[in-house]
Chain A
Amino acid sequence: AQSVAQPEDQVNVAEGNPLTVKCTYSVSGNPYLFWYVQYPNRGLQFLLKYITGDNLVKGSYGFEAEFNKSQTSFHLKKPSALVSDSALYFCAVRDISGGYQKVTFGTGTKLQVIP
């Protein structure tokens, strides 16, 4: 079975500073990894994904994530945080063993960008 861990319930960062939201995963085969963002009272918006290729993946709104196979991590990063980035961020892994590829989510990390 696959799983995702987000060790931080909340991350606080000052506007303009770089941000990192941590994620580690566990899968039996090759991981397909995703980041989603949830704004208050909104649904889940896709940010970026890693399937194969370059370990640094670029996504929406200036976010990027670095896949590290040896550390089984997929941390979300942004060079300069904006107040509007404040939201709930979910890391997710695709389980393909069953063939229909449900997504398993982490518990979420609340990002608070302080003006």
Chain B
Amino acid sequence: EPEVTQTPSHQVTQMGQEVILRCVPISNHLYFYWYRQILGQKVEFLVSFYNNEISEKSEIFDDQFSVERPDGSNFTLKIRSTKLEDSAMYFCASRFGSGGGDTQYFGPGTRLTVL
């Protein structure tokens, strides 16, 4: 069964450093998402991406964040200058179409620890 994959599973970085989190969505999916989950809290929407551009973003997704689909398979989240409060689990998700009933499938997540 196709699945969303994410690398690395765990990333440790120093405050102020740049990190890139990588995702490979399900191959025929068209809509891509990033969510994050701070330890012990709920899953929060960050950004959605369609047709090579951001379609929606939350207030969390400030200028320090960017997303890119550099090729036909990868979808990346970059944090330019990490802060302690960026420590969280980051989930990538993808969806095939625009139908209201279409399911988002999530990857296993990348745990980001900022020291």
Contacts and interface: CB of A to CB of B under 8 A. Distances in A.
A108 B33 CA distance: 20
Contacts of B35: 105
Contacts of A107: 41-42
Interface in A81-107: 90, 94, 96, 98-107
B55 A99 contact: yes
B75 interface: no
Interface residues on A, range: 20 to 34
Interface centre among A34, A43, A94, A106 (most CB of B within 10 A): A43
Contacts of A102: 33, 45, 48, 56
B48 A90 contact: no
Of A34, A94, A102, chain B has the most CB atoms within 10 Å of the CB of A102
B100 to A, nearest CB: 5
Nearest to B95: A101
A36 B42 contact: no
Nearest to B42: A107
B98 A44 contact: no
B56 A100 contact: yes
Rank and list the top 8 A-B pairs by shortest CB-CB distance, nearest first.
A51-B101, A43-B108, A44-B106, A100-B55, A105-B43, A107-B42, A102-B45, A100-B48
Interface of A: 30, 32, 34, 36, 42-46, 49, 51-52, 90, 94, 96, 98-108
Interface of B: 4, 6, 31, 33, 35, 41-45, 48, 50, 55-56, 91, 93, 95, 98, 100-109
